[in-house]
Amino acid sequence: MKTNETTVKRKGICHGECIIFESKIPAEGIEEKNEGEFVIVANSETTGNHHVIDMAPDVKFFTHEGKRFMKNSSPATVRCVMADRHDALTIPAGEWEVGIAQEFDYFAQAKRNVAD
């Protein structure tokens, strides 16, 4: 692929229906107060196999206009509660937007979040 100064390359990580991609956290982002060993980033609607990011002192989550962001100054881990479903993946240090993959339902002529 030919690149030039206007080409934007973004890193992305897919973990089941959870998508994590490089993004800047908006200055207006509000820091979440999370307690516990992990944060659920993609709910499992049927099996209970949530996608989670393990918490550490240098992992912080923010929200802005309905979107969720994460900042980590050292590598973080995204995994499933049921470890045999997906491999755990390392998220490099950086700023990220965390979301849910979408699919298009041709019968309903509408897009929707991927669900498991």
Q: What is the pTM of this model?
A: 0.77
Residue 94 pairs in a beta bridge with: 72
In DSSP notation, 54-116 reads E--TTEEEEEETTEEEEEESS-EEEEESSTTSS--EEE-SEEEEEEE-EEEETTTTEEEE---
Question: Where residue 25 falls among pLDDT bands split at 50, 70, 90?
Answer: very high
Query: pLDDT tens, 38-64?
Result: 999 887 766 777 889 999 999 999 999
Higher pLDDT, 14 or 71: 71
